[in-house]
Structure 1
Amino acid sequence: MLRNPSSAGGSHIVAGSLAEAESIAVLDHLTGRKWRQDTIKGGAVASIHGLAIGDALGYPTEFLDLAALTRRYGSWRQLELPVQDGVARVSDDTQMTLAVIEALAEASLDGVSAVTAATVEPALRKHFVAWLRSPDNNRAPGRTCLDACAALERGVPWQEATVLPSKGCGANMRVAPVALLPGLTAEQRAGTAQLQAALTHGHPTALAASDLTAHAVWLLAHNCHPSELLPRLRHYGRTARRTYHGDWLGDLAQRAGAADPAAFIAHGWDETLAALESVAAALAQPDPERDPCEVAGGGWIAEEALAAALYCFLLFPEEPVAVVQRAAFSSGDSDSIAALAGAFAGASVGGPAWPADWVRALEYGDRVRPLVAPWDTGHTHARWGGPGRGTAPGRRA
């Protein structure tokens, strides 16, 4: 594991868990089975690599306006991965994504049929709290995530811990792994995507945007052509608009003061679908030099981060590096926008998406690959009876 060189030590990984594996060999011992080492070239690993690369590119550019970006970097195409002492440092976006990966690995130990609210919620709680207390948690984390995770640590029900009015992009910046775990049903995928958001962000738009972000990653990993992406996302959102996943969300809508759970979630879908339309309108006259935040807003809230990231991806669907460069060179929440854009590009293009030297430099890369690599062959971490199996994401020719 490559850790923050400035940290006093430690990490947000829970001691004794699967993410403590330093190598494939150690993971074999922990899980009791053999993992293929050639699985790192598929779409799941490429998507998480893309998320981390986008995050690392956007972390230093966040909070800079376009004038400052231009003075410092010149053109957006001149952005290079910032590497110091051999490490490309990431922000809380990637750190919390790793927490979700670890939680999913635990929840699916007995196969994907075991992935329910009852198994996912305590796993997420544990790893979100571990992130909260990590000495590496010094990367400008969002206040909503900090406050909600502190409440989760106190052991209160998550519906009390969450920040009900918040729809910040912390909700969906970390959701990509939910789309990449193979074999989940559509209900499991939607429920897990919304639940992982709801533990910290209780606004219905945070839930809908997280669900739609995960669905975008899932579609791209399963051969959706980029030209079909917006129409399919629009259809998904309209179909899901009044579906409140009560088995996963419990009484969240009631706690938020909504008399009708269906109306509660419909509000979130309406805002998220409206953000999609801003992307479609901008792509009618695409301008690679336009600040993505002029198209979608600053990206500080969940639906705007999704929209800005989709815009960058759809500008350059066959140029993954250009996707994350354009996303990181933006005047808003650059690391979250670029992280999501990188996740989309990696899921779509697959293994060849990213420069090898960039991948080697990624902080936490040696931790994430053993956990995510099996997903590219349709395997999950199953404790007994062999691996859980699902449909591995395919690659476009």
Structure 2
Amino acid sequence: MSDATPHGPRFVPRKHINPRFADDMAFSLVSGPEEYAGRTARPVRYVAVADERGTVTTYVWACDEDDAAGWIVRRDADPRAVDDSRWLTRLREGKARGVPPTTVLAEVAASPAAVPGSLTTAPDLASLYALADQPFRAPRWRSARGALFGLAIGDAMGRPLSTLPLDDVRAVYGSWEAMELPLSADGTVRVSDQTQLSLAVGEALAGAAVAAPLPEAEARRALTVRGALPAPPWLTPAAVTTALRTHLVAWRHSPDNDRAPGRTTLDACEALGRPVPWQQATAAGSKGCAAVARAAVVGLAPYLSADQRSGIAQLQAALTHGHPTALAASDLASHAVDLLRHRCAPADLLTELRVHAETSRYVYRADWLGDLASRTDAAAFIAMGWDECVSALSAVETALSTDDVSRDPGRAVGSAWTADDVLAGALYAFLATDTHPRDTLHRAAHTSGASAATAALAGALAGAHRGVSDWPPEWTGTVEYGHRLTWLGEAWDRDRA
């Protein structure tokens, strides 16, 4: 229902700020030797290096896919035994020779200083920093908080537009370029169930990923002498499933659950409260959009391996919407947020997502999904979802090639209230507006499709890429559930910082 009053809708008053203050500051290296990139979001190969007493002091790492390499010094290393210039020189020489970073890494592994047999793989740089007992050096902005507020603000902007035909949206709320954050009839900035369910998933993961019991922590630290770090052992499928069910059932019976959520989600969450396998509770044939927006939160959770992130994104979708397209679209939404948070260039985003879809096409994550696909071939089951999502990515590429951002996302890539169309609409809005956060939300909300879900996911993408500073303070300060968004965002950004 619309929040328009007889005199038209009301909006949060904007404080007009010089737009130059929101410009990105660009810096260029004008001299100096070429170097490998210092960051990657992909798995890295690494080798442990020890001092003369055999104590590990440094981890040297490399990733050919991103032409990246570097080193991380252990927090407890004796500074007198660490020579940073040694690794800087070695890596610069490798870059000057034009060899892949792992070639240099192999040379380091063959040197006397390397711990024999320590050459192995870490799922990402965050895991390697954890192995070194060092804080992960994240981008300076707080991208988890930015993504969460972007999701909620986009949801609040799209919520009153969701049931209106596009012509009525323009008549009541104006052009998409001028859209502001609407106030509800009671003077608050209210979100829909998209934000409520995203918080349920995020808080479930935050609770499941608490610090390991002391024996686990000690075992994890003991692994450092062998130069290997496993995925967090306490984030098992059973533990995550229990946490997600608990929070989804709590949302189902919460007095705040008054935003007219979809019947599919309500029925599934009601069934999750019964003592039955969750595969019997889900709407097995539904690929509705309720799961794809909340999947963005999974891409923000720290310390997940790529397999865990993919499995959890699909699981949280499957608990309510069991169609393979809902699973694949949620996986891609989570992956997109994770890529942007790790500085993936927006121009590369669709290519990276297509690669992820193609490599995942026949991967049925039985450890997370159990016997969801028991009635058919598991590989064929999941491939159907990935194929539909690849088609959605192709639709985004085609729409972007027209250079016409005046088209609403629904007409550009599809207006069905399904997971794949909402994913495509959010990606289109994000990329068509040159990733400018406020324009992204304006474009995503003004759609003939699912306004709230599309704008929520688009806001999460923009916030993951640009951080919280690009959202107007009067928006972040008035949106509903701000304290919960802040708590979760700051907790996860602190884990990454």
What is the TM-score when the length of structure 1 is the normalising length? 0.83
Residue type of the alignment partner of 1:103: A
Higher helix share: 1
Q: Is the 1:299–1:337 Cα contact (8 Å) retained in structure 2?
A: no
Aligned to 1:109: 210
Shift of 1:372: 2.3
Aligned to 2:189: 88
Q: Is the 1:221–1:348 Cα contact (8 Å) retained in structure 2?
A: yes
| Distance across 2 between alignment mates of 1:140 and 1:296 | 26
Matched, 1:327 2:466: no
Aligned to 2:432: 315
Aligned to 2:155: 55
Q: Is the 1:66–1:331 Cα contact (8 Å) retained in structure 2?
A: yes
Which structure's CA Rg is the greater one? 2
Aligned to 1:287: 404
| Distance across 1 between alignment mates of 2:183 and 2:477 | 11
| Distance across 2 between alignment mates of 1:226 and 1:367 | 29
Residue type of the alignment partner of 1:201: H
Query: Which one of the candidate residues 331, 336, 350 is aligned to 1:216?
Result: 336
| Distance across 1 between alignment mates of 2:416 and 2:251 | 23
Aligned to 1:265: 382
| Distance across 2 between alignment mates of 1:154 and 1:251 | 18
Query: Which one of the candidate residues 353, 370, 373 is aligned to 2:487?
Result: 370
Aligned to 2:266: 146
Per the alignment, in what secondary structure is the counterpart of residue 114 of structure 1?
Answer: coil
Matched, 1:247 2:347: no
Query: Which one of the candidate residues 252, 255, 261 is aligned to 1:135?
Result: 255
| Distance across 2 between alignment mates of 1:46 and 1:113 | 29
1:190-234: CA deviations, max 9, x gaps?
000000001011111111000001000100110001000000100
Are the structure 2 counterparts of residues 40 and 359 from structure 1 closer, same or farther at C-alpha, using a change threshold of 3 Å?
Answer: farther
Shift of 1:45: 0.6
Shift of 1:113: 3.5
Residue type of the alignment partner of 2:207: E
What is the TM-score when the length of structure 2 is the normalising length? 0.67
| Distance across 2 between alignment mates of 1:42 and 1:331 | 32
| Distance across 2 between alignment mates of 1:143 and 1:172 | 16
Matched, 1:98 2:199: yes
List aligned pairs for 1:201-212, cutoff 5 A.
Answer: 201-212=321-332
Query: Which one of the candidate residues 189, 192, 195 is aligned to 2:309?
Result: 189
Residue type of the alignment partner of 2:445: A
Per the alignment, in what secondary structure is the counterpart of residue 161 of structure 2?
Answer: coil
Shift of 1:77: 1.5
Q: Is the 2:426–2:458 Cα contact (8 Å) retained in structure 1?
A: yes
Shift of 1:141: 0.3
Residue type of the alignment partner of 2:251: W
Shift of 1:78: 1.7
| Distance across 1 between alignment mates of 2:300 and 2:187 | 28
Matched, 1:361 2:478: yes
Shift of 1:299: 4.4
Shift of 1:63: 1.6
| Distance across 1 between alignment mates of 2:259 and 2:141 | 29
Residue type of the alignment partner of 1:345: A
Q: Is the 1:176–1:343 Cα contact (8 Å) retained in structure 2?
A: yes
| Distance across 1 between alignment mates of 2:285 and 2:444 | 27
Aligned to 2:357: 237
Residue type of the alignment partner of 1:70: R
1:70-94: CA deviations, max 9, x gaps?
1112211121111345631000000
Residue type of the alignment partner of 1:94: T
Shift of 1:40: 11
Shift of 1:317: 3.3
| Distance across 2 between alignment mates of 1:92 and 1:78 | 25
Shift of 1:115: 1.4
Aligned to 1:67: 167
| Distance across 2 between alignment mates of 1:290 and 1:334 | 14
Q: Is the 2:291–2:419 Cα contact (8 Å) retained in structure 1?
A: yes
Matched, 1:340 2:457: yes
Q: Is the 1:40–1:376 Cα contact (8 Å) retained in structure 2?
A: no
Per the alignment, in what secondary structure is the counterpart of residue 330 of structure 1?
Answer: coil
Identity %: 54
Aligned to 1:42: 142
Shift of 1:332: 1.6
Q: Is the 2:346–2:435 Cα contact (8 Å) retained in structure 1?
A: no
Shift of 1:66: 1.7
Where in structure 2 are there 5+ consecutive unaligned residues?
1-138, 213-231
1:7-60: CA deviations, max 9, x gaps?
xxxxxxxxxxxxxxxxxxxxxxxxxxxxxxxx9950001001000000000000
Q: Is the 2:300–2:338 Cα contact (8 Å) retained in structure 1?
A: yes
Q: Which segment is superposed worse, 77-86 or 209-218?
A: 77-86
1:317-345: CA deviations, max 9, x gaps?
34100100111111121000000000000
Residue type of the alignment partner of 1:63: T
Query: Which one of the candidate residues 200, 203, 218 is aligned to 2:320?
Result: 200
Are the structure 2 counterparts of residues 118 and 40 from structure 1 closer, same or farther at C-alpha, using a change threshold of 3 Å?
Answer: farther
Aligned to 1:297: 414
| Distance across 1 between alignment mates of 2:247 and 2:297 | 14
| Distance across 2 between alignment mates of 1:168 and 1:186 | 25
Shift of 1:371: 2.2
Where in structure 1 are there 5+ consecutive unaligned residues?
1-38, 380-390, 393-397
Residue type of the alignment partner of 1:329: H
Q: Is the 1:86–1:361 Cα contact (8 Å) retained in structure 2?
A: no
Q: Is the 1:299–1:306 Cα contact (8 Å) retained in structure 2?
A: no
Q: Is the 2:141–2:466 Cα contact (8 Å) retained in structure 1?
A: no
